[in-house]
Chains A and B, each alone.
Chain A
Amino acid sequence: MILNLYKHDYKKMSKILNYMYVITLAFALVTRIVSIWENVKLIFIIKQVLAGFTIAGAVNIIVNTFVHILKNVITSFYKDESYLTHTLPVSKTQLLVSKYLSAITLVVVSVLVCFISLVTVYYSPETITMLKTLISATLLEFNMSVEAFIVMVVLLLLFQTLALTTLSFVAIIKGYSYNEKRILFGLIWFFVIYIVSGIVMLIVSAIILALQGNAHELLSETISQQTFKTIVIVATVCYALYSVVYFFTANKLFNKGVNVD
């Protein structure tokens, strides 16, 4: 049943985004083809414009991905469609898990489409070398390989996205437990939890750095390799833990029941 729910949710969430994927990938492809003749000045200008459209498309995809996830959760759980959602013979946990999984899938697909589009437009051995040199220069003080840095950043971004997605679910469910000004209350809950979580993360980082004897680096302009690694690892672990905590909080609140319009 969860698989059927997941398919249905993903299909609904991705409906409009699929068109955006095709358009952005098409712009990326045309940009790439046009760049074969970029030595001609006019073609170069056209290529730059098309590349701009591709970037705009990628930004549009990322923004719309989150807009569609939030819109789908609200309409499916609390608007007219909720009359179907909540009368289906499935548990509230299944409904939530399905929404969560489809949201994660949508984020991953959107990021992949954006990545492929940008690689299509900008990939060349020279660009890769330039990027590697740039990152290596930045990481020189940290004695860290480019690959390790990329893995750390990707993991951090992944868990941060998961945490923010689940936090949005908590905020929506909490906001809609009120009888009025539900969106406003949802936003307030989102920011309150986000700020408290951030403060907790900062305190944990400070404690660990103090134990390492590096607490003073939090206030200095430059940080050591160990401090950098500690901060990134603490943030990644915290976001991973927050994702779990937020999900169980959302599930507990949702299972208390809904009050639809």
Chain B
Amino acid sequence: MNVLQINNLNKSFQNKQVLKDISFTIKPNRIVGLLGKNGCGKTTILKIVNDLLTKDSGSVLVMGNPISVETKKLISYLPERSYLDSDSKVIEVIKFFETFYSDFNKDKARKLLKELGLDENARLAKMSKGMKEKVGLVLVMSRSAKLYVLDEPLGGVDPATRDVVLKTILSNFDDGASMLITTHIISDVESILDDVIFINDGKIILQGEAETLREEHGASIDEIFRRLLK
């Protein structure tokens, strides 16, 4: 069964169509990169998958289920923006996740916090943007989800720390689970991607297995991206 199946998805804001007939599937155990320039519709797709936006038409199925409470149990989502209550301490947010997500592993979260050098008693308000993003990543990766959806996980992280973040992502998602990751910094994530979907102006312009695309185009994914969106 496909982990995620999107068929003919359309979305407009006022008179502007931001998603045009988007269709793709994610199979189990795959890391899929949703790649495109800023404002091309990547985040809109993720927001629809996570019930943060309504779709105009088309279908979105997660493990065969339409978007509902059931799909929320299956998806672990890291939004681009900081969404945690900044007045809270890290440990309080961990307790919150433990309360609401039955698949949340508190011990794993504490271990990851240590590995990333984060203090669980620190208040989020006192943390930098990069540190908050790491906390968000820890929370998301401490769940045993079927689909991890990461929106620009490297956006606020300095280049020196990106490898650590990528290692955390790779070494902490469950067997059989899949990941949908959006970014416009392709060179950093290229090595971990199994499949790629290029999106421009709300339309999919190219998709396929990363290795096949590299062979067909005789170039890296980053290079293909630059050529397509020149």
**Residue ID in chain A nearest B79 by CB atoms:** A83
Residues of A29-83 contacting chain B, CB below 8 A: 80-83
Q: In the complex, what's the smallest C-beta–C-beta distance from B174 to chain A, in angstroms?
A: 17
Knowing A15-B87, A80-B83, A81-B83 are in contact, say whether A86-B100 is a contact too (CB < 8 A): no
Q: In the complex, what's the smallest C-beta–C-beta distance from B93 to chain A, in angstroms?
A: 9
Contact code string B61-101 (vs A, CB < 8 Å = 1, else 0): 00000000100110101010111110100000000100111
| Cβ-Cβ contact count across A and B, 8 Å cutoff | 57
Residues of A114-130 contacting chain B, CB below 8 A: none
A87 to B143, CA, bound (A): 13
Which residue from A12, A15, A89, A259 sits with its C-beta under 8 Å from B54? A259
A15 to B52, CA, bound (A): 27
Q: What band does the interface of chain A fall in when counting residues whose beta carbon is under 8 Å from B? A: 20 to 34
**Residue ID in chain B nearest A88 by CB atoms:** B100
Judge whether A87 and B82 touch: CB under 8 Å: no
The reply on A179 being an interface residue by CB < 8 A is: yes
Q: In the complex, what's the smallest C-beta–C-beta distance from B45 to chain A, in angstroms?
A: 14
> Which secondary structure dominates where chain A touches chain B?
loop
Q: In the complex, what's the smallest C-beta–C-beta distance from A181 to chain B, in angstroms?
A: 12
Judge whether B14 and A260 touch: CB under 8 Å: no
Residues of A80-129 contacting chain B, CB below 8 A: 80-84, 86-91
A155 to B96, CA, bound (A): 37
Residues of A4-42 contacting chain B, CB below 8 A: 4, 8, 12, 15
Judge whether A86 and B84 touch: CB under 8 Å: no
Give every chain A residue within 8 A of B50 (Cβ-Cβ): 83, 86-87
Q: In the complex, what's the smallest C-beta–C-beta distance from B64 to chain A, in angstroms?
A: 17
The reply on B205 being an interface residue by CB < 8 A is: no
**Residue ID in chain B nearest A84 by CB atoms:** B83
Report the count of interface residues on B (CB-CB < 8 A).
Answer: 24
**Residue ID in chain A nearest B67 by CB atoms:** A257
The reply on A1 being an interface residue by CB < 8 A is: yes
**Residue ID in chain A nearest B88 by CB atoms:** A12
Which residue from A15, A83, A89 sits with its C-beta under 8 Å from B72? A89
Which residue from B52, B54, B101 sits with its C-beta under 8 Å from A83? B52
Knowing A15-B87, A83-B79, A179-B14 are in contact, say whether A260-B99 is a contact too (CB < 8 A): no
Q: In the complex, what's the smallest C-beta–C-beta distance from A111 to chain B, in angstroms?
A: 26
Give every chain B residue within 8 A of A258 (Cβ-Cβ): 51-54
**Residue ID in chain B nearest A178 by CB atoms:** B14
Judge whether A80 and B47 touch: CB under 8 Å: no
12 A-B contacts (beta carbon < 8 Å): A80-B83, A82-B52, A83-B52, A86-B50, A86-B51, A87-B51, A87-B52, A88-B72, A256-B54, A257-B53, A257-B54, A260-B52
List 6 additional contacts besides A257-B51, A259-B52; criterion CB under 8 Å: A4-B99, A80-B82, A83-B52, A87-B52, A90-B69, A256-B54
Show the binding face of B for A, using Cβ within 8 Å.
Answer: 13-14, 47, 50-54, 69, 72-73, 75, 77, 79, 81-85, 87, 96, 99-101
Nearest 7 Cβ contacts at the A-B interface: A83-B83, A257-B54, A83-B79, A89-B72, A89-B73, A260-B52, A84-B83
